[in-house]
Amino acid sequence: MAESLVTERTKLKRIPDRGTHERETIYKILDEGFICHVGFVVDGQPFVIPTGYGRIDDHVYIHGSAASRMLRNLQKGIDVCVTVTLLDGLVLARSAFHHSMNYRSVVVLGKATLVEDPEEKLTALRAISENIVRGRWDDVREPNAQELKATSVLKLPIQEASAKIRTGGPKDEEEDYSLSVWAGVLPFRLTPGVPEVDPKMSVEAAVPAYIKNYSRTPRS
């Protein structure tokens, strides 16, 4: 794909060397995350709504109740901004000013459209589910006609997008390196806890391997 994802709106301004518009980098971050924040304006009021998502090729898919304000308004074709953030560490500097975070983040701008084709809708729902718990979809009952009717799926093309990545330790002022204060990085990882069985389980079923071994390794 030769087209550029950079536009005037997705050009990074502050510390632009931390930014990239490479599709592969953007996809890798999107595939490691599963929660995005969806920003949009309705009647002059900005909303930033957290939700799950999935990616298929060059589209991000989100879903929700057909009655949701977010989904009802986005399908009208209003401008939307979808942001995904992965926190990799807290960067502790010798001065308050130079504290920072290590992160990988993506911003996608554009307009979303309603997925009307039933086959694409089901594929998208599967992609969202698989992005959150890979392996789950094949185990569970698929949505029925009524559930599908109550659910809207929207897709946003990844055409105007940017990624930003910070890595490494603190960058202090030269004169501060002699200060007697601990400095470094506290790494952060998203790791699951111990699975808790539903007390309403009425059949014997082992904890699936995809739950026991759950991790957020990107698929791409």
Q: 40 vs 152, which CB is nearer to ligand FAD? A: 40
Least distance in Å: CB of 78 to ligand FAD? Answer: 17
d(CA 217, CA 220): 9
Q: Which of residues 88-107 bind ligand FAD (CB under 6 A)?
A: 101, 103, 105-107
What are the CB-based long-range contacts (under 8 Å, 24+) for 9-16? 9/109, 9/160, 10/107, 10/109, 10/160, 10/161, 10/162, 11/162, 12/162, 12/164
* Residue 30 tokens, joined: 């999107």
Burial status of residue 131 (CB atoms within 10 A of its CB: 0-12, 13-18, 19 or more): buried
Smallest gap, in angstroms, from Cβ of residue 100 to ligand FAD?
7
Distance of CA 38 to the CA centre of its chain: 10
Residues between 138 and 167 with contacts to ligand FAD, criterion CB under 6 A = 162-164
Give the chain's radius of gyration (CA, Å). 20
Site string for ligand FAD, 54-93 (x = CB under 6 A): -------------------------------x-x------
12 near ligand FAD (CB under 6 A)? yes
Among residues 85 and 95, whose Cβ is nearest to ligand FAD? 85
Nearer to ligand FAD, 87 or 133 (CB): 87
Query: What's the CA gap between 37 and 98, in Å, rounded?
Result: 26
Number of residues interacting with ligand FAD: please give it, by CB under 6 A. Answer: 15
Answer yes or no whether residue 28 interacts with ligand FAD by CB under 6 A: no
Contact footprint for ligand FAD (CB under 6 A) = 9-10, 12-14, 85, 87, 101, 103, 105-107, 162-164
